[in-house]
Structure 1
Amino acid sequence: MKIRFPLLTFASIFGVIAFTWPLYFSSQSIPGISQSFLNPTSAKWFALVIAAAAIALVAIEINRGLLDSKSVALLGVLTALVAALRLIGAGAIGVEPIWFLIILTARVFGTRFGFSLGALSLGLSALLTGGIGPWLPFQMIAAAWIGAGAGLLPKRFRGKSELTALVLYAIFAAAFFGVAMDLQLWPWVAGSDSQLSFIPGGEVSANLHRFLVFHFATAMAWDIPRAIFTSALIIVTAKPVLGSLRRANLKLNPISRAMAQTVAS
């Protein structure tokens, strides 16, 4: 039976809107909405409400029982471990060891588990590091997407091909996180009268151009070290970590264990 992710899909849709509204939301999009609603201060709260709703949907997905008790327990342990890893890189540009573990875990346990791990671990780490703020829901959603994406990597890859795919995905994930965080931050930090400023109600092409210039002018010092550090950790740790996680997965999943024993015999 094919597994469906309706709530996670809705959460992702809300997240996409929360991140990308500056690119396409204009005063002509919805008749009757005044231009004052589209100023950065008002729209910021609109985006935050949507992001918070997306995180709430993740919690509902867990409560519905789509993750069993053993999986939830393992999710809790890994969430705490990822949150603790974030303390190592706190304050260091691009030194973010959390991503390698999120990616490797999602590779073994799949999309739904990776989505939940990404969101919950960023939330817990914010409590540990004092990083709670309006940026937190966006960080949680971006991390959830990175975890979900790792779970979608083809299962047929093994050995060198698997390692290559994981390294390439780590580079993509590092760049994606930088773009996503800049996209939610850009309307508020670029001012209102510069060449990089967000234009409320402006054309998509104009705002996209301004955002890309802003991103590449400010983010490379974070994105490149993040990509290098995450890739290096995956190269060094992928074999032992994936092996340990796969053994844990066999213990949690009787069907997978029976299949493994059949193949071995």
Structure 2
Amino acid sequence: MKITTWNVNSLNVRLPQVQNLLADQQPDVLVLQELKLDQDKFPAAALNMMGWQTAWSGQKTYNGVAIISRHALQDVHTGLPALPDDPQRRVIAATVNGVRVINVYCVNGEALDSPKFEYKRQWFAALTDFVRDELTRHEKLVLLGDFNIAPADADCYDPEKWHEKIHCSSEERGWFQTLLDLGLTDALRQVHPEGAFYTWFDYRGAMFQRKLGLRIDHQLISPALAAALQDVHVDLDTRAQERPSDHAPVTAVFAE
């Protein structure tokens, strides 16, 4: 089973790239973040014509998440139960061939002294509660997407520059560890314990060309999936295309 996550940073702009990725790489599941589309603007018909099943939670201009699958999507859920009034569309989950797929576009937080950081703190606590509950019902589970957290210095091109800054603060890394402590494994680090595997590159300053980025897009997997994990790949070729997203897709491959 092949599962890919990608922050597309506007599906309107990146739809041809999404269609090419689906056709060329043939994942079983592709999850997207930052659709930046109203619910009724999602290109479901175009994807269905290609043979893909879809579920999405849209929001105009900001946020938005989707799951695209070659298999049926069952028990679709959106949002976080602990934040029932949150208008931001950041979470969608579905079961695909017995695997619970939870796609998240986690809060950025802007800066440690920003009011948005308090929202990020509350949001990650709500996410942790949700995933803990989901794990009681699903042996095979993957929590994946754009976490807006680089979990270690090895996941940052300049640890001194980013020290205790947004995405790299000790508090945020603690939230990430709390998710792992639920029994999840960082899939990429299971396959590649060391080395730089950046998934986000700022558009400014030719950061991609200079290979200066952060690893903030992750797949966290339950023990049953960790036992079946075969490979994890960061797709830098897609990031190198014309008019790219600032994020690269991340693919995990599991034995059937």
> TM (normalized to structure 2)?
0.27
Structure with bigger strand share is: 2
Whose RCO is larger (CA < 8 A, sep 6+)? 1
Larger of the two Rg values belongs to structure:
1
Higher helix share: 1
TM-score scaled by length of structure 1: 0.26
